[in-house]
Amino acid sequence: MNRTPAFFKLVALILFLFQAYPVFAQGTGIIDGVVIDHDTKQPIIGSRIEVLGTKLGAATDVDGNFTIKGLESATYRLKVSAFEYKTMIKADVAVGSAQSTKLVLELDLDAYQANEVVVTSTQLFNKSSSDVKISTNELSQEEIRRAPGAAEDVSRMVQVLPGVTTATDSRNDIIVRGGSPAENFIMVDGIEVPNINHFGTQGASGGPIGMINVDFLQDVTFSAGGFPVKYEDRLSSVMDIKYREGDKNHFTGKFDLGLAGMGFVLEGPLQDGKSSYMVSAKKSYLDLIFGSGGQGSITAVPNYSNFNLKATYELSPTHKLALIGLGGIDKIEFKNGENKDSPSNDNISYNGWQSVLGLTHKWLAGKNTYVQTSLSADMYHYGVDVDTAG
């Protein structure tokens, strides 16, 4: 029985309904966000947020949170200002009808508004020398989501940056200035992650399909050289991925369906204003339609699933715990053809999995100083079985 035509009819119907939804949807969109200090990650009270081109705006509460309602479906620019901080313009903020857009806005201190000026002698080595950003790019969640050809994949977005190339279109391996894909260092909220992709190979950091859910992202910092001292002696590149925190006031959910798979994202408070969680899961479904071995000219169908997790708990105004989780399961089978005497028609199956779990503690030691301690464990398995025909 050939199920392929029925499948494509189903996909066409789903895509039509998703395209038609905005026409029938009623209501306006909402921007929910938080304004924090770029260095200490602490909330900034009384920040002013203006939606440029409109009369709408808001101010942050004691937890740095704000909400702007009554926005039509469009892309906006926000102006964010606060006393003693540099004013920021946040562009490309997409708001959908009857949807909530989550933002994390970080402000830098304005040295010209400081209350105290301290003059010190010039030294050969100073603080700024270790923080110079050379060959560094900062990517926002919206930039990654809307990047053409990236398919909401962090690694594929990075491939278009200066000094970065790739070996093949079928994988998102990152090659920086002729280095090896195995020389890239990846961190998620301060926790080292060996690979953030499905169907990875041992020692490499790439793969055909990414596991990071773009809805979790706060921002991504990619350094192709001149690494800050906190990254030690890395060879090719450093990718520092930061997850945002879940909504501390409301429970929200989201369901996604696309050719890459189907999944959901849930977030909400665990305790009034002090803790939150975010969890997502995604699974491919083509194997359910074509079978694991494929049909007709399709010789193999990938089967994969993944999860993302972040939970935070505020012990006190200066101490915060965060639990980070990321993992995936991969499976694919290449079944032999009718000519069982040909070595090229051997049965080959790949079964792999990986998981990373970490706990971080952040202590705000001063107005401009914080200390973060991380404890993590990662496990992975790469298994390839070959069944010789004959």
* 386, pLDDT greater than 80: no
**In 83-207, where does DSSP find H-type helix?**
127-130, 141-146, 154-158
* 90, pLDDT greater than 70: yes
Instruction: Say what the pTM is.
Output: 0.76
How much of the chain, in percent, has pLDDT values that exceed 70?
A: 80
Instruction: Give the model's confidence band at 17: pLDDT under 50 very low, under 70 low, under 90 confident, else very high.
Output: low
Contacts for 271 with CB less than 8 Å, ≥ 6 apart: 313
Pairing label, strands 136-140, 217-223: antiparallel
Task: Report the C-alpha gap between 63 and 72 in whole angstroms.
Answer: 27
The DSSP secondary structure of 19-69, one letter per residue, reads HHHHHH--S-EEEEEEEEETTT--B-TT-EEEETTSS-EEE--TTSEEEEE
Average pLDDT, the chain: 81
- Please give the pLDDT value at position 110: 83
Structural domains of the chain, with CATH: 25-113 (2.60.40.1120)
* 25, pLDDT greater than 60: no
Q: Flag the least confident range among 92-96, 158-162, 258-262, 306-310.
A: 258-262
Task: Report the C-alpha gap between 104 and 284 in whole angstroms.
Answer: 30
The answer to whether 155 and 196 have CB atoms below 8 angstroms apart is: yes
Q: pLDDT: is 111 or 156 the higher one? A: 156
For 338-354, what is the mean pLDDT? Answer: 72
Q: Flag the least confident range among 120-124, 209-213, 309-313.
A: 120-124
CA angle 177, 179, 184 (to 5 degrees): 105
Task: Report the C-alpha gap between 295 and 104 in whole angstroms.
Answer: 46
- Please give the pLDDT value at position 128: 42
Q: E strand or H helix at 318, and its extent?
A: none
- Please give the pLDDT value at position 338: 52
The answer to whether 332 and 199 have CB atoms below 8 angstroms apart is: yes
Q: pLDDT: is 7 or 372 the higher one? A: 372
* 3, pLDDT greater than 90: no
